[in-house]
Structure 1
Amino acid sequence: MKKETIQPEELKKAMAESWSVKSSSKWSRENPAKGQCGVTALVVNDLLGGEIKKTKLAEGWHFYNFISGKRYDFTASQFSENITYTYVPSNREEAFSDTNAEQYCCLKQKVWTVLRW
């Protein structure tokens, strides 16, 4: 699969298969998306471009992607309540503050492996 042909739904599936305790210390089998928002937004941005946005929730900032006028929040399943998105502009630096280099590299490498790149 070439990077130019990746579809958001394919990437969403690859992300879900790639999350682990190595990409977020909050990961669990019961809630694999927990704590994955910053690192996921970064890897999605690497592959699909677009913008990184954030919304303030009770637990803190929640990061997601905005690509070609559409929201992509691959980690929304970590929350039991519905999210009221505010689309606050963000960037890679802010999203990176929610993770670290080891978690980012681990998730990126795992996603690449799942996508067979």
Structure 2
Amino acid sequence: MTLNGFDDIERAIRRGWGADTTTPAHRPDWTPDNPARDQCGVTALVVHDLLGGELIRGEVHVDGERVDYHWWNRLGLGIEVDLTREQFGPEEIVVGGDVIDRPTEIVRLREEYELLRDRVVAALRP
């Protein structure tokens, strides 16, 4: 994969985000001003579909307390790809990062993942 190829994937993913691909509980709070908000799980799965590697999960802390999890990818040679890192405000700190096995069946956010995946695949077709 060339750098331009990865740029195409990143662009397709970012264009594919919407309120309908975010976590349903957070959907009312999603805005185009912060399109990466609550897109990390579905985005990490789509990147994994396209590029393989490992899924990484860390914890999001505010004032030292875990408030959520954050997902991203680690590709070959240990290169980490996190297309949703900018979603966080200065008070939200991502801690840790453990390799997580890909679920054999996507249950949580399955519809959102499939929607984003289908948009990205369509955008990448020649």
Q: TM bucket by the smaller chain?
A: 0.7 to 0.9
Q: In the alignment, residue 86 of structure 1 is paired with which amino acid? A: G
Match of 2:73 among 52, 60, 65: 65
Task: List per-residue Cα deviations over 1:3-30 (Å, max 9, x = no partner).
Answer: x667333211111100011111433211
Structure 1 counterpart SS, 2:20: coil
CA drift of 1:85 comes to 5.3
Q: Which residue of 1 aligns with 2:13?
A: 15
Structure 2 counterpart SS, 1:55: strand
After alignment, is 40-49 or 79-88 more displaced? 79-88
CA drift of 1:80 comes to 2.2
2:124 equivalent to 1:115 = yes
Give the alignment's TM-score, normalised by structure 1.
0.82
Q: Which residue of 1 aligns with 2:46?
A: 43
Mark the structure with the bigger radius of gyration: 2
Structure 1 counterpart SS, 2:96: coil
CA drift of 1:93 comes to 2.4
Distance 1:102 1:65 in 2: 21
Structure 1 counterpart SS, 2:46: helix
2:85 equivalent to 1:76 = yes
Pairs aligned (count)? 112
CA drift of 1:91 comes to 2.4
Structure with greater strand percent: 2
Give the alignment's TM-score, normalised by structure 2.
0.77
Taking only the aligned residue pairs, the percentage that are identical comes to: 33
Distance 1:40 1:23 in 2: 9
Q: In the alignment, residue 37 of structure 1 is paired with which amino acid? A: C
Distance 2:19 2:57 in 1: 23
